[in-house]
């Protein structure tokens, strides 16, 4: 997944991820979510070893971005880094639909062959692939069910 992909589903990102993206940009936010998604990061004003904590964050997002985050969240004891499941799921679903079209139109797979292969590739049931193929992309203004 690239930042360009994330831009397509930015409307599905939780508010906390959108705040991160405003502060440090989508590429750095993507790195942060990939590395620390679902965890809590401490931005304490007076850390025992601030250099070590800052270095760990800088290794993930870059030095400038780590400074921006530390400055913005300083004083907040813990900040939850979101998983962004709805956005990532939507990207996967879009990819499945695009690959199905490619397989059936360009490579002349039958629909059943394409669905069977996609189910295996993504580790999901073929029935679920059929359901995904009937859905449209979630555009801005639509909210995920969960």
Q: Based on the fold, state whether residues 69 and 119 are members of the same structural domain.
A: no
Looking at the structure of the chain, the number of domains it has is: 2
Q: Based on the fold, state whether residues 98 and 57 are members of the same structural domain.
A: no
Domain's final residue, options 59, 83, 107:
83
What is the rounded average pLDDT of the residues 67-74? 91
Structure tokens at 85: 């499941």
What is the rounded average pLDDT of the residues 18-22? 93
Report which secondary-structure segment, H or E, holds 100.
helix 85-101
Cα separation, 102 vs 124, whole angstroms: 19
pLDDT at 3 over 80: no
Q: Based on the fold, state whether residues 92 and 72 are members of the same structural domain.
A: no
The answer to whether residue 142 sits within a structural domain is: no
Residue 54, φ and ψ in degrees, nearest 5: -65, -40
| H helix and E strand count, the chain | 8, 2
pTM: 0.78
Q: Based on the fold, state whether residues 13 and 76 are members of the same structural domain.
A: yes
Q: Based on the fold, state whether residues 114 and 70 are members of the same structural domain.
A: no
pLDDT at 142 over 70: no
Residue 139, φ and ψ in degrees, nearest 5: -95, 165
Which pLDDT value is given to residue 14?
Answer: 95
27 is in which domain, residue-wise?
3-83
The answer to whether residue 141 sits within a structural domain is: no
- State pLDDT tens for residues 25-68: 999 999 999 999 999 998 765 554 545 555 889 999 999 999 99
Give yes or no for a contact between 132 and 97, defined as CB atoms under 8 angstroms apart. Answer: yes
Q: Based on the fold, state whether residues 73 and 96 are members of the same structural domain.
A: no
The answer to whether residue 144 sits within a structural domain is: no
Cα separation, 52 vs 88, whole angstroms: 31
Give yes or no for a contact between 98 and 137, defined as CB atoms under 8 angstroms apart. Answer: no
Q: Based on the fold, state whether residues 64 and 106 are members of the same structural domain.
A: no
């Amino acid at each position: 997944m690239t930042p360009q992909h994330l831009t397509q589903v930015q409307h599905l990102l939780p508010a906390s991820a959108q705040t991160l993206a405003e502060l440090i940009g989508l590429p750095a936010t993507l790195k942060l979510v990939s590395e620390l998604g679902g965890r809590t990061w401490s931005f304490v004003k007076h850390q025992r070893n601030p250099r070590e904590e800052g270095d760990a964050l800088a290794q993930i997002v870059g030095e400038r971005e780590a400074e921006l985050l530390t400055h913005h969240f300083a004083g907040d004891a813990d900040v939850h880094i979101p998983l962004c499941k709805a956005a990532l799921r939507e990207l996967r679903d879009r990819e499945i639909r695009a690959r199905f079209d490619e397989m059936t139109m360009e490579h002349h797979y039958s629909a059943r062959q394409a669905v069977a292969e996609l189910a295996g590739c993504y580790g999901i049931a073929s029935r679920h692939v059929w359901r995904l193929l009937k859905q449209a992309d979630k555009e801005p203004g639509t909210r995920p069910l969960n």
